[in-house]
């Protein structure tokens, strides 16, 4: 046991000394690209004016980026040759706001070429998206580097919407995120939309004893079955995770308390005393939720992993 602890601390130390852990700071670009934040904010704002759905898409994209190889812009790389990239793997459901990052990068390359990483652009854009949806603001630490690897197969490491609470805790712990972070970050599901394929496993033939997931309110399940018929539905069929999908509020937690969480993971938050307490607290207090969300997203957003500053967010240098 003692040997194990020593080994672990040696490998953590060597990670630091090899420089794999980039130090992030709030004023990282003050000298090299002083208008970085306002430039990104303008790009996000103008895109969101034309298409509101980029708001949830940017937030989700940042999460997926950070969960695979750290926040290194790996989600932004295009498939190339025989390499199928993360963005072309199955859990890419609603990922579609890549053009916003391309636009912001183009502006920044004109102002300060080769300086601002794609991973930083995405982290700032995700914050701006939350603000545009009426959510809290926060200062984004910057200085992430972009990675050179993006593999579709690694998206298998993303948590699944049907995970139970212990699988969720484990998946978050692997990234240094706690049970508190889990409860707060899932509040991001106050924004956006999900396709039927992401939740229909709960609606029919759930398990050997239940047709419908017993953690789902029956009237809610009946409505979702109509939205997601087995045959003849458009590819775009689905539902929002919360009745106010464009407003960043605490409604998500109220919905979960009513048995109207869209995914199994949402209801799973009620199966552990710690997360259940947090869901109840966040449902009662918008401020308690946003304070916790901001703390946790800064943590998520600070998992680093890259090596370079890409010139084009879709290809390695
Ligand atoms: C256990 C972790 C999570 C799982 C399993 C999960 C799963 C999902 C699924 C299945 C969808 C619907 C995709 C579709 O059908 O199109 C979705 C959407 C979304 N997720 Fe999560 N999620 C998780 C955590 C997070 C976190 C931590 C964030 C952000 C901080 C986030 C932000 C979003 C947003 C904003 C959407 C809506 C996307 C849109 O409308 O374009 N999710 N998530
Ligand atoms: C999602 O992945 C599929 C293949 O699994 C691919 O054909 C599609 O272009 C991808 N969508 C986006 C938005 O990248
Ligand atoms: C969660 O799922 C895993 C894998 O299926 C299982 O081993 C574990 O017992 C489950 N945990 C809970 C709390 O249901």
Checking if the pLDDT of 304 tops 70, the result is yes
Q: Is the pLDDT reported for residue 137 higher than 50?
A: yes
Q: How far is the CA of 189 from the centre of ligand 1 (A)?
A: 6
| Ligand 2 in reach of 90 Cβ (< 6 A) | yes
Our mutation pick for probing the ligand 3 site, out of 159, 164, 274, counting the most ligand atoms within 8 A of Cβ, is 164
Mind telling me the catalytic residues? 64
Backbone φ/ψ region at 258: left (φ over 0), alpha (ψ -120 to 50), beta: alpha
**What is the rounded distance in angstroms from the CA atom of residue 116 to the CA atom of residue 147?**
13
> In the structure, which protein residues have their CB atom closer than 6 angstroms to any atom of ligand 3?
164-167
Atom 4 (ligand 3) nearest CA:
167
Q: What would the mean pLDDT of 259-269 be, rounded to a whole number?
A: 97
Fold that domain 165-297 belongs to in CATH? Peroxidase; domain 2 (1.10.420)
Q: Judge whether residue 6 has pLDDT over 80.
A: no
Lookup: tokens for 137: 């603001």
Band of residue 94 on the pLDDT scale cut at 50, 70, 90: low
Mean pLDDT of 6-12: 40
Q: Say whether 80 sits in a helix, a strand or coil.
A: strand
Domain boundaries, the chain: 9-158, 165-297
CA of 166 to the centre of ligand 3 (A): 6
For residue 243, the CA-to-ligand 3 centroid distance in Å is 30
Q: Tell me the average pLDDT across 252-261.
A: 97
- pLDDT (0 to 100) of residue 4: 42
Q: Which of 78-87, 115-124, 178-187, 278-287 has the lowest mean pLDDT?
A: 78-87
Q: How many helices (H) and strands (E) does the chain have?
A: 12, 2
Does the pLDDT at position 18 exceed 50?
no
Q: Could you tell me which CATH number the domain at 9-158 has?
A: 1.10.520.10
Best mutation site among 160, 162, 166, 275 for ligand 3, i.e. most ligand atoms within 8 A of its Cβ? 166
Tokens read off for 110: 């004109």
Residue 86 CA to ligand 2 centre (angstroms): 9
Percent of the chain whose pLDDT exceeds 70: 92
Which ligand lies nearest to the CA atom of residue 88 in the structure? 2
Q: Give the pLDDT confidence of 28-58 residue by residue, as tens digits.
A: 999 999 999 999 999 999 999 999 999 999 9
């Amino acid at each position: 046991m003692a040997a194990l602890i020593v080994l672990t601390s040696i490998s953590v130390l060597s990670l630091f000394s090899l420089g794999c852990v980039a130090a992030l700071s709030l004023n990282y670009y003050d000298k090299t690209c002083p208008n970085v934040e306002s430039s990104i904010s303008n790009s996000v704002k103008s895109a969101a004016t034309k298409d509101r759905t980029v708001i949830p898409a940017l937030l989700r994209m940042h999460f997926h980026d950070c969960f695979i190889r750290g926040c290194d812009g790996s989600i932004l790389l295009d498939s190339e040759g025989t390499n199928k990239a993360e963005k072309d793997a199955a859990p890419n459901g609603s990922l579609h706001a890549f053009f916003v990052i391309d636009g912001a990068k183009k502006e920044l390359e004109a102002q300060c070429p080769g300086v601002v990483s794609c991973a930083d652009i995405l982290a700032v854009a995700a914050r701006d998206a939350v603000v545009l949806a009426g959510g809290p603001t926060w200062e984004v630490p910057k200085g992430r580097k972009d990675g050179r690897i993006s593999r579709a197969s690694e998206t298998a490491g993303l948590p699944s919407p049907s995970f139970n609470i212990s699988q969720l805790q484990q998946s978050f712990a692997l990234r240094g995120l706690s049970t508190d972070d889990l409860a707060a970050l899932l509040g991001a599901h106050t924004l956006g939309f999900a396709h039927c394929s992401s939740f229909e496993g709960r609606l029919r033939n759930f398990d050997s004893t239940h047709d419908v997931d017993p953690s789902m309110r029956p009237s809610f399940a009946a409505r979702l079955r109509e939205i997601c018929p087995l045959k003849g539905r458009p590819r775009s069929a689905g539902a929002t995770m919360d009745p106010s999908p464009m407003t960043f509020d605490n409604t998500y937690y109220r919905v979960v308390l009513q048995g109207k969480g869209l995914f199994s993971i949402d209801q799973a938050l009620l199966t552990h005393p710690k997360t259940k307490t947090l869901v109840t607290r966040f449902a009662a207090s918008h401020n308690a939720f946003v304070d916790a969300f901001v703390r946790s997203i800064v943590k998520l957003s600070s998992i680093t992993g890259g090596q370079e500053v890409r010139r084009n967010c879709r290809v390695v240098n």
